[in-house]
Amino acid sequence: MKKTILSGMRPTGRLHIGHYVGALENWVSLQGDYQNYHLVADLHVLTTNTNTSNIEDYTLDMVMDWIASGIDPEKSPMFRQSQIKQHSELFLIFCMLITKSRLERNPTLKEQVRDMEIDNMIYGHLGYPVLQAADILLYKGNLVPVGEDQLSHIEITREIARKFNFEYGNVFPEPDPKLTKFSRLPGLDGKAKMSKSLGNTIFLSDAPEDIFASVKKAVTDTQKQRKNDPGRPEVCTVYTYHEKFNPAETETIAADCRSGALGCVDCKKRCATAISDFFEPIRERRAPLAANPEKVKEILLDGETKARKVAEETMRQVHEAMKLG
Ligand code: ATP
Ligand code: MG
């Protein structure tokens, strides 16, 4: 039997190319070898947003990106977390298997507190890795393809699975994370992570002219001030994008940047072209989906029927193991 992949994203805005290179690309490349399940983490949105008015639009937009990137609705159920009630029940049970101090030690949470300037954290935000553990283990996920910021959460998931199995009997696997080579794509502003909340993104569905405009304002090596100054590719965000999206030219670009033969304006144009070309097939596959959101809604309903069956069976096993009714 194929092993299971579970991975999801929050519908908090349009997907950016960091989401693609950090996670989505692996979802697609592993589909076939694994049984994939993909979660629209709409309940997770509530950890940082009280405004829910955009969730439906963002959900459809995100699922369009997933499908256009190559997730096949026939093979890989896609579903909204809020529509499968078992996530909430398993979350509640898992809340009893982890301490508050363990959750407070989570480095990703500390990073979020810093980046989003949160000074008074809600209870649900502290506990969101526990909900994530429920998301993964409800489908008995073996592999979780995610970006680097999620590693600490997979570790918490493993600890919860171990604790449950020890207390009640062996129900859950201990899932492994799966990173890509670009598990933390830097943002246009040079910050370590491209992120919606930091406003330093290129969106997956951006038109070529938007990609050009975004890359044009990207931060490069700040010591390279004039066109012919020698530059340092290793500190340049645009160079990182070349490495991912323009591998054939990377070596010459690095050499020409170092010697001062290549200026940033020209380098950025080549970078924007490469990014735009890379995502062209995705933009093309996306257009008919964008014209037919009803179809995407049907795909979600179908995915939810399939996911619910798995969730029900897991919860039956949980109840049996815990002698709960
Ligand atoms: P953002 O991080 O942009 O604010 P988010 O936190 O709402 O968005 P998530 O749903 O947490 O988005 O992220 C979805 C997936 O994309 C996760 O696996 C995450 O690790 C990955 N990811 C997000 N940003 C990046 C990035 N810059 N580089 C690599 N992977 C990323
Ligand atoms: Mg995130």
pLDDT in tens, 81-132: 999 999 999 999 999 999 999 999 999 999 989 888 899 999 999 999 999 9
Helix (DSSP H) and strand (DSSP E) numbers for the chain = 15, 5
Backbone angles phi, psi at 8, to 5 degrees: -145, 180
Q: Measured between alpha carbons, how far is residue 234 from residues 21, 214, 223, 253, 288 in Å? A: 19, 20, 12, 12, 40
Backbone angles phi, psi at 178, to 5 degrees: -135, 115
Element (H, E) at 279: helix 264-290
- Ramachandran sector of residue 263 (left: φ over 0; alpha: ψ -120 to 50; beta: rest): beta
Give 162's contacts (C-beta < 8 A, 6+ positions apart). 174
User: 184: Cβ below 6 Å to ligand 1?
Assistant: yes
Residue 196: the pLDDT is 86
Residue 161: the pLDDT is 99
For the domain 4-185+293-322, what is the CATH code? 3.40.50.620
Q: Where in the chain is the domain with CATH 3.40.50.620?
A: 4-185+293-322
Tell me which amino acid residue 288 is. Answer: P
What tokens appear for 196 in the block?
A: 């919606």
User: 318: Cβ below 6 Å to ligand 1?
Assistant: no
Q: Which residues of 43-64 are buried (b: 16+ CB within 10 A; e: fewer)?
A: bbbbbbeeeeeebeebbbbbbb
Ligand 1, atom nearest to 19 Cα: 16
Nearest to 20 by CA among 68, 74, 58, 56: 68
For a mutational test of ligand 1's pocket, the pick from 25, 143, 149, 182, i.e. the residue with the most ligand atoms closer than 8 A to its C-beta, is 149
Tell me which amino acid residue 152 is. Answer: S
- Ramachandran sector of residue 2 (left: φ over 0; alpha: ψ -120 to 50; beta: rest): beta
Element (H, E) at 78: strand 78-80
Assigned fold of 205-286: Tyrosyl-Transfer RNA Synthetase (1.10.240)
Distance of alpha carbon 284 from alpha carbon 291, whole angstroms? 12
Q: Where in the chain is the domain with CATH 1.10.240.10?
A: 205-286
**% pLDDT > 70, the chain:** 100
3-state SS class at 56: helix
For a mutational test of ligand 1's pocket, the pick from 9, 54, 197, i.e. the residue with the most ligand atoms closer than 8 A to its C-beta, is 9
User: 183: Cβ below 6 Å to ligand 1?
Assistant: yes
pLDDT in tens, 35-81: 999 999 999 999 998 999 999 999 999 999 999 999 999 999 999 99
User: 9: Cβ below 6 Å to ligand 1?
Assistant: yes
Nearest CA, atom 10, ligand 1:
9
User: 14: Cβ below 6 Å to ligand 1?
Assistant: no
pLDDT in tens, 129-150: 999 999 999 999 999 999 999 9
pTM for the model: 0.96
pLDDT in tens, 213-271: 999 999 999 999 999 999 999 999 999 999 999 999 999 999 999 999 999 999 999 99
Residue 12: the pLDDT is 95
Residue 313: which pLDDT band, with cuts at 50, 70 and 90? very high
| pLDDT surpassing 90 at residue 197 | no
